Structure 1
């Protein structure tokens, strides 16, 4: 009898140690911050910088600021500030194919006439839109993304044909 109780006690202790759970820290669930520059816009004479922070493995929020640095572009746009939310579909942490919803506070020239020299008429407006793209991140944290999107100004677009805004480019960044 004592042998059977001892036997069951040993079996219980061995089996309970087999089902114990260990807490292993998973570094892939860490949230990241990322700074990016739009390389395509730099070639075209526009400076656009972005900051993004991940919320989890499939979503992130960020903001981008666009300022013209070339005089030819400066006559068409003064600035654009665009907060956004992204949802990622890739297997890596906040990378791969994504869809984005964005808002854009922008100031653009509404009297764009290619044949006459009209005075600049800059109007500030707010647009809502969406974009799609892809992001690739290296193990060292460098990233590249290609994206494009379209939105519509909501307020000061009466009497003009310029109520559509675009967003896109090739961003080069670093995730930390």
Structure 2
């Protein structure tokens, strides 16, 4: 009986250790969707590769579902591609407060001005920018983050807005 009890305790402790190890080593890849932009008719998906416990590299791609240029459309952009490098300052690996630097390639639709802005013909923008935010992780590998950033275009300033704003309420999974 003692041998069976000892064997059961050994198996349970090995299983418990294996589960703890598995939770700590969730993976180095994340796939995320920006819910804020999805609701606005501009789905934005992100792939992020965790480089260390404090850094990562990612790429975000967004595209418009509605290509019309009328003023009822929720977004002024056709397409965006943004690679970024991120640094985390949290207690957990790759979680907590972060800052990032990015490049952006994006296409803006024609816009008719209002009280605050002038008419823009539309076109392609390329520039660099920054972002800040906070990321949360679960033990099972789910992630959620809130972020905000700005990118300044270096080309076609007369055809598109000078600044490309970014914000997100993003959810995803580590694999």
TM-score band, normalised by the shorter chain?
0.7 to 0.9
Partner of 1:85: 85
The answer to whether the Cα contact below 8 Å between 1:29 and 1:57 also exists between their aligned partners in 2 is no
Q: C-alpha distance in 1, partners of 2:26/2:173?
A: 16
Report the CA distance shift for 1:124/1:35 in structure 2 as closer, same or farther (over 3 A). Answer: same
Q: How does 1:25-174 map to 2 (within 5 A)?
A: 28=24, 32-70=28-66, 71=68, 72-73=73-74, 76-114=76-114, 121-158=121-158, 162-174=161-173
Partner of 1:22: none
Residue-by-residue CA offset, 1:4-37 (whole Å, 9 max, x unaligned): xxxxxxxxxxxxxxxxxxxxxx875785100000
Q: C-alpha distance in 2, partners of 1:62/1:43?
A: 22
The answer to whether the Cα contact below 8 Å between 1:31 and 1:56 also exists between their aligned partners in 2 is no
TM-score between the two structures when normalised by the length of structure 2? 0.75
The answer to whether the Cα contact below 8 Å between 1:110 and 1:162 also exists between their aligned partners in 2 is no
RMSD: 2.4
Q: C-alpha distance in 1, partners of 2:121/2:162?
A: 14
1:56 is paired with a residue whose SS is coil
Higher Cα radius of gyration = 1
1:121 is paired with a residue whose SS is coil
TM-score between the two structures when normalised by the length of structure 1? 0.75
Shift of 1:111: 4.0
The answer to whether the Cα contact below 8 Å between 1:31 and 1:55 also exists between their aligned partners in 2 is no
Partner of 1:19: none
Residue-by-residue CA offset, 1:43-84 (whole Å, 9 max, x unaligned): 11110000000000000000000111245146x211000000
Gaps of 5+ in 2: 1-20
Q: C-alpha distance in 2, partners of 1:86/1:56?
A: 11
Q: C-alpha distance in 2, partners of 1:83/1:67?
A: 15
Gaps of 5+ in 1: 1-25
Q: What is the number of residues matched between the two proteins? A: 146
